[in-house]
Structure 1
Amino acid sequence: MRGRETRPHIGIFGRTNVGKSSFINAITGQDVSIVSDLAGTTTDPVNKSVELTGIGPVVLVDTAGLDDTSQLGELRANRTRKVLEIIDAAILLIAGNRVSDTEQALMARFQSEAIPFLLVHNKSDLERWRNHGAVFPEKTPVLDYSSVSHEDPWPLLSKLKRIIPPSAFKRQALVGDLVAYGDVVMMIVPIDLEAPEGRLILPQVQAIRDILDNDAIAIVLKEREVEVFLKKTKIEPHLVITDSSIFNKADAMIPKAIPLTGFSVMLARFKGDFDAYLEGTPKISELKDGDKILLLESCSHHTSCDDIGRVKIPRWISNFTGRNLHFEIVAGLDDIPGTIQDYSLVVQCGGCMVTRRQLVNRLQPARRAGIPVTNYGMAIAYVQGVYERAVAPFVKRDDLETAYL
């Protein structure tokens, strides 16, 4: 079984002008970052997809300096701290034998959030590392490195490779583990007002590639062609994946013997907190008048008059429960209004534009507070009466029954 390869996200941190940009250029062997003596050249976290010798494809997240004390600097620092939600490992740069409270606080955050890190004393061509009484977390060596003396980066990169969690390199399958050579997978893709002109949305493209990578056959249809296709070809797909917005139509068109799921449910298993979704989705039936529902829309997109997250899901959940409910929508990674305890349910989108770590961390406050969480596709399937069928390809029967207890 083959799958989609993930790229480890490595955060590069440090005070202003410790040489973060020069360091990135040195270890990649490319001019991928702007180098300047002017403080604050890097203003916001910037993702750079690169190939590191001996490690492979990674995403380096170049961050702003943490020690800017201006009002704007504090905003930049807050954005830099949010990087901790998406990275798999970190490199903290220091220079001039200086370790301040800023670095100490950041190392404490790394530890509390289980982020492995390297501490690198940059500009060592000017001054080698000497500890002047700084106290570091246990087993935290300080590595000397010079970005300007053409020093071989491999000793440092080999240590970086050893601390990156194996899961960050894991090749994951969207549906590839469910199919074998020659299996036919049908995808039902509505072309409506929400469909981007001239192209498919990312989860649809990813599914097609994953199917092809696993030597199966991908068939893509609009919903009005499905019944004609099945009748004329007599082909019985091994699996059908539909857009969540037409779950009930797909359920009626596809024979019950054929497994059926949705693109958003597929993403829920691929990068979401799937077990938490299985536990939380049936809680929709327990909502009461006045409850607040938080909808987390992790990408920012142009909204339509019948938007799936902002219009359809609130309408479907309200109609299903018959309750007077209040919905809050948060786009991108904006802060959640109020406190998480204000909400009775959190509904997360598929998360096609964010990393798994980012998505799981986004749901952690709700999980810690005992608030049920679900996913767009799983919530839609539940209120449209096709939940068990939609999740069945990804779960054991006894797991599904446990979720209802």
Structure 2
Amino acid sequence: MLAFKIFPFIQALVIILCFILPLKKVSLKYKILLAIIFGLGSLKQYIYIFSGGDMMDPKLSRYPAIFFDTIYFSSIFLFLLTLIRMIINGVYKLSRLNPGKFIIPAQSTRYAALFLLIACLIGGRAVFNGFAPPVDKFYEITVKNLPSEANDLRIVELADLHISAPTIPSEIEDIVKRVNETEPDLILIAGDFVDGTIEELDYMTKILFNLKAKYGVYAVSGNHELYSGYKNWIEYFEKGGIKFLENDGVIIRNEKDVPLLNVCGVIDISAHRFNLPEADIQKALANTDRNLPTIFMSHQPKLANQLKDKSDLTLCGHTHGGLMPGLKQIVAKVNGGYVSGLYNTGRQRVIVSNGTRIWAGAPLRLHDPSQIVYVTLKQ
């Protein structure tokens, strides 16, 4: 945590000392301007001091958030490009055994302009993608022992809605409209609904109460519910018709009372750190029919490694698809090998959603877009 707090200052110093100051043909006033934009831009996570938010939810409205995030991520990419230049030059100096040799001169305004252009294009595009509407992602999953009455059963998975200060109501209205138009049999929401309080977000979160599915809307908590007032939010959403399966399970039955499948869920795996119950797979399975297929919801996908012989289909979120190449591999590593898409683990199929929206703390995407996941079950 200390490294997370200190790193932005290190990044700012590297940009100022190793990128801006060495430039030969740039006047002092432009160097100061660059230092303000990209040096201070590196410190975006401290804006919450002035906005009244925190690192999890900076509480910036939409357009200020887009503005500061674009500068922030452009600063990160400029920092990375500066490091790459330093590494290339360092390796070249060592290979030639001459400290005066270099490939990319630090004082060159031509290279500096190129680096700035690349950093700003990537940063701007990443933030634009982060705030873009979700795409539709379709899966067809064959499930062993699926009753004939459940063949072609349609499920919509939402995850990581992250309704917060930069969100606008029309975004949530569009998601609800798109989901309802498909007339799903089940809607399953894999956590991280909100960043903020009920008083701040009610005018947007209540839009989710319009979600409609033949057999109901079910959900599990994510880690961000734990930061935002877990008990109040769970009670709030349940009053709105969204049933939470926190270490619980239900048997889904059709209109003729024929049992179709089990739907189970667990509380977020970090809940015990907030004096809440631990994620309990056995408790979630206690009231289910073991002869029926089981669909499991877990916000964090690493739990799927404990469900290989218990779940036929596990739906997760949390990873946001890894956000960008390079980081994606790291995110997969810390999430049990799961980061985005469909995984086969014996009996179990695991779908990790990229998230339906994006977290305001890191609203960027370079490869894996936000998505609404549609699953059709087949015999």
Q: TM-score, with normalisation over the residues of structure 1?
A: 0.32
Higher RCO (CA < 8 A, seq sep 6+): 2
Could you say which structure has the higher helix fraction? 2
Q: TM-score, with normalisation over the residues of structure 2?
A: 0.33
